[in-house]
Chain A
Amino acid sequence: MSNFLNFIKDNKEKTFFIFILFWLLVIAQIETYSQLTTSGTFAATMRLAIPILLAGLGGIFSERSGVVNIGLEGMMIMGTWFGAWAAWLYGPWWGVAAGIFGGLIFGLIHAIATVSFQVDHIVSGVAINILAAGTARFFSVVAYANESQGGATQSPRISGEISSFSLPFLSGGTFLGNETSDLLRNLEDLNLFFISDISGLLGGLTRDISYLSFIALSLVPICMWVLWSTPFGLQLRSVGEFPVGSESLGINVYLMKYIGVTLSGAFSGLAGAYLVIESSGIYRENQTGGRGFIALASVIFGNWRPTGVLMGSGLFGYADALQLRSEESVHGLLLLISIVLLALSVYLLFNKKSRNGAISLLMAFGFGIWFLNSTSVPNEFVYFTPHITTLVVLSFASQRLRMPKSVGQPYKKGEGG
């Protein structure tokens, strides 16, 4: 028992995390809220998380090389536009390539402005976003105005889709041309506590995965390897920490920054193309809906690491998926928040932080009463769940994060003398 208590003391965050997961599982046992942990929800989570994940990975490259990239949103917009345009004309894989290209061009513009001309990074990023929105609108008018389904704000439906696969034996994929069992589906249907929920998670992540999703997910380990296990990665990161020192060692600081920012554009472009090709099948104005900004936020609270971004984007994808798939289950989250806040207030009061404890307790009751007196959460609130999650998570995490030392500071060649 004392071992257990010590574990809790040493791993407060892990315990807190496990606590949340446990109650999520408990709530998911209630029939109304069963959508919280089905394979369908997790599959949707993945589809919705990947655009944020990709743009976030791009953000890491840019920020690790020392350039703040608030233009991720604009680069993503270019990805959606070019992705839809090429996918409509030539098919989905051409859309992917064109999306990457569109984002890359805008990444290059950001690099020219911030690295060569040393414009303030945020000012340039804001300008990129404005330019991208205008460009997309203008291109749409030029390219789609005379098409039957297209117009100033949307493209015609794209042709074809990227094929998908399932894992054999576990998720009912084909093996050497034969149908195999769908073990995870069977387990999920048994409705066992924990086992079925985990099967739902694994099933959702391994059933009917498109090849593009697979590529996107595999970029996480690839980025980790490139940034932390190759000389190039070391050079790129050193430029974001201490450019003067890097230059004295013969590293081409400008080149590294150019590569970092341009890559972030390419990743954001891919994110945009994914959004069009895998989610909507069509380009629509404002389709990105701030995902580029959320990606930037997930870079920050992911502590500038790919795994952190993966977790952050997963969280947003989950919130988004619940909103799309079932409104009842979002209602269940109110109960979860109430329980978590209650536990937090007990912890705070126990540690004599009475003011914060009281606030927490009050909010716990507030959410509890809201939960008991309603059957659903208003759509308008559900819509900004990801954004409010960002604010809350950042409020708790910001002070413990360590950003690249010289991120956001303009650097001029030969500054070190």
Chain B
Amino acid sequence: MKVYLKILSFLTPLIALAISFGLTTFILILIDRDPVETFTLMFDYGTTGKSIISILNRSIPLYISAVAVAVGFKMGMFNIGVEGQYILGALIAAQVGAVLILPRPLHVLTIFIVAAVVSGIWAGISGYLKVKKGVHEVISTIMLNYIGAGIVAYLLANIFFEKDEDNSLKVPQTNYLSESGQLPPLNNILGLEELPNLNSFIVGAVFVGIFYYWLVWKTSLGFDLRATGLNPVAAKFSGADPNKLIVLAMLISGGIAGLVGMSNLVGYFHRYTIDFPTGLGFAGITVALLGRNHPVGMALGALLISFLERSSQILDLNNIPKEIERIMQGIVILVVVVSYEVVRRYILTQEVKLASRMVDKDE
């Protein structure tokens, strides 16, 4: 590949971001706000120490969610159900964690495993329905999101509610995890005592990223996954069993999705409450698309989205609707998918031209 094509491919995200900023500027002018002032405010607020910690904390679940989506993407499957998978996993894990009494590392580990297994099974249903019943995974995962949300609401209101001695209190939240089920923040280790808490599950997110890289690019299973995603027919003839892979991919994707809620569960809320953040599953799709399913790209994408979310909080104080961030996210995602596709096709045609020129020279 020629050098300039490589550079172009590398620059695409930046071009897409520039276009998105241009469109946002246009919208800001339309509603009569000063775009320069807006972006300056966001940048200044988003780069304070407190904000950086907040951005890192927000990025953890976003990144894991993106990885969960990306595992599916790699073999041409769309797991749009990360949303339902992680809330169900987090609730069950919170309940199990609240009941269990175990020594610390084991307790936390058990919580993670329960969440991963529950979410994995929930995602596995979609894999099963696709293989055995021919139901497209997009439809089934979306429907399972609604069903999962309903089950969570039911369990929280009727079975897993907070219990005191005489069972009179019926607050829809699980009991607190005992000390051994909690992860303390990283601040003491890093010497950041004066800043807000940095969630230690950030280490978990890094591990998830490394695991994803190892699984997809360094194992034969990962090779089969990618091969099936690129050319299902060829992969089948090379001996990959597509049905087995579909179910496996959904199980793995769901298992990773189960970890989405863990930073909030063991590191912040220490229980499942109605304040537990939702929408991380859909945000994960944005991040996966933004980062082109690349482990590092998705990390940058997660940081970018978190930065936008955090830094826009200042805008309301200055009479600029902070919801401009929501529309920005939407624009970014749409511009990104279009520009990636355009550049991909451009590079493809250039490569074909180069190849044919080389063939001509040989003759």
Contacts and interface: CB of A to CB of B under 8 A. Distances in A.
A324 B221 CA distance: 48
Interface string A111-130: 00100011110111011101
A133 B337 CA distance: 18
Interface stretch (A18-26, A267-275, A332-340, A375-383): A375-383
B139 A113 contact: no
A371 B329 CA distance: 47
Nearest to B335: A127
Contact of A113 (B80, B327, B337): B337
A66 to B, nearest CB: 16
Contacts of B331: 131
A391 B134 contact: no
Contacts of A276: none
Interface in A289-314: 290, 293, 296-297, 300
Interface in A126-150: 126-128, 130-135, 137-138, 140-142, 145
B146 A384 contact: yes
Count class of interface residues, chain B: 35 or more
Most chain B Cβ neighbours within 10 Å, of A113, A127, A140, A383: A127
Interface stretch (B39-47, B108-116, B153-161): B153-161
Interface stretch (A33-41, A189-197, A212-220, A394-402): A394-402
B345 interface: yes
A388 interface: yes
Interface stretch (B57-65, B199-207, B281-289): B281-289
B143 A395 contact: no
A118 to B, nearest CB: 6
A119 B333 CA distance: 12
A109 interface: yes
A153 to B, nearest CB: 10
Given A127-B333, A138-B326, A384-B150, A122 B138 contact: yes
B143 A297 contact: yes
B330 A133 contact: yes
Contacts of B31: 142
A135 B327 contact: yes
A142 B321 contact: yes
A130 B157 CA distance: 30
A152 interface: yes
A398 B135 contact: yes
Count class of interface residues, chain A: 35 or more
A350 B132 CA distance: 23
A390 B143 contact: yes
Interface in B108-163: 129, 133-136, 138-140, 142-147, 149-151, 153-154, 157-158
Nearest to A296: B139
Given A130-B286, A391-B140, A109 B327 contact: no
Given A380-B157, A384-B147, A391-B129, A297 B330 contact: no
B150 A383 contact: yes
B341 A119 contact: yes
Nearest to A128: B334
Interface string B324-363: 1011111101100110011001000000000000000000
A70 interface: yes
Interface in B300-340: 321, 323-324, 326-331, 333-334, 337-338
Interface in A251-294: 290, 293
B272 interface: no
Contacts of A113: 334, 337-338
Contacts of B150: 380-381, 383-384
Nearest to B279: A133
Given A130-B286, A293-B142, A293-B143, A394 B133 contact: yes
A130 B323 contact: no
A387 interface: yes
Nearest to A412: B345
30 contacts: A113-B334, A113-B337, A118-B345, A127-B330, A127-B334, A128-B334, A130-B286, A130-B329, A131-B327, A131-B330, A133-B330, A134-B328, A138-B326, A138-B327, A142-B31, A152-B323, A296-B139, A297-B143, A300-B136, A300-B139, A380-B153, A384-B150, A388-B147, A390-B139, A391-B129, A391-B144, A394-B139, A396-B133, A398-B134, A399-B133
Interface of A: 70, 109, 113, 117-120, 122-124, 126-128, 130-135, 137-138, 140-142, 145, 152, 290, 293, 296-297, 300, 378, 380-381, 383-384, 387-388, 390-391, 394-396, 398-399
